[in-house]
A and B are shown apart, each in its own frame.
Chain A
Amino acid sequence: MANRCTHLNQIQKVVPSAQGCEDCLKTGDAWLHLRICLTCGHVGCCDSSANQHARRHYEETGHALIQSFERGENWLWCYIDEMILKPRG
């Protein structure tokens, strides 16, 4: 049961690239929930959204770690290890 995320060194001090899903805003689409890439700050939409821009961003760039960009949520997700990470405390 020793599955641990090994991509924590990808985490950078990022600035959100937009206040909504970056790619959906360009095309005028709607999204459900927002996810922020912790490597470059790309804000994309979740897997429940039609366009899944956050996952597409991971597939294009390899940036594995995202955090929820929704108010009141602070969990992280690693696309490679497919596991949830939470801040301690």
Chain B
Amino acid sequence: MLQLIGVFFLVFGVFFCVMGVIGNIRLPDIFTRLHATSKVSSMGILGLMVASALLVPDSASKAIALGVLVLFSAPVASQAIARSAYRDGCAMVGLAQDDLAVQYIDFSYNYTIGEEVPWQASPDEPEIDPDDPANVDEQLFGAPDEEPRDG
């Protein structure tokens, strides 16, 4: 009976490994490929470790310990890889909306609690046309130090 359950977990683990390989070949970009390969290192390895614990009782403690460690470390590793890939600007295929997107603008003043606002002291400054969207920061805070880059 123990053997039968062990074989089941063996098949379970191998199934996830095979699916991970297929996914790695077929999926289009790094994020979806990571999604596939992280199944190998979590579910696949975990299944194989449980199988080896059941089929080879002498190695049970080592296999269980390995399985638990892999279960904790594999998702962290894939998340770290995905985050670095995103920060590096890797393209996402079929992306409809990017909730992490940040737009960099020419705006330099940072309001903080209790700080005196610099333009309160000098009321004689020229009027600013608020409807002109040309360069908000240049109007408000003077010309920028460098040429604006397209961010």
Measured CB to CB, the residues of A under 8 A from B are: 1, 3-5, 8-9, 11-13, 15-16, 19, 34, 36, 67-74, 76, 83-89
Contacts and interface: CB of A to CB of B under 8 A. Distances in A.
B111 A88 contact: no
B132 interface: yes
B57 interface: no
Given A16-B111, A70-B113, A11 B136 contact: yes
Given A13-B119, A69-B112, A69-B113, A8 B102 contact: no
Contacts, number: 80
Interface of B: 92, 95, 97-98, 101-108, 110-114, 117, 119-120, 128, 130-133, 136, 140, 148-149, 151
A13 B95 CA distance: 36
Contacts of B114: 19
A1 B107 contact: no
A85 B128 CA distance: 22
Nearest to B108: A87
Contacts of A74: 110
27 contacts: A1-B98, A1-B101, A3-B101, A3-B103, A4-B103, A5-B105, A8-B136, A9-B130, A19-B114, A34-B113, A36-B111, A68-B111, A69-B111, A69-B113, A71-B112, A72-B112, A76-B107, A83-B101, A84-B103, A85-B107, A86-B102, A87-B104, A87-B106, A87-B110, A88-B104, A88-B106, A89-B108
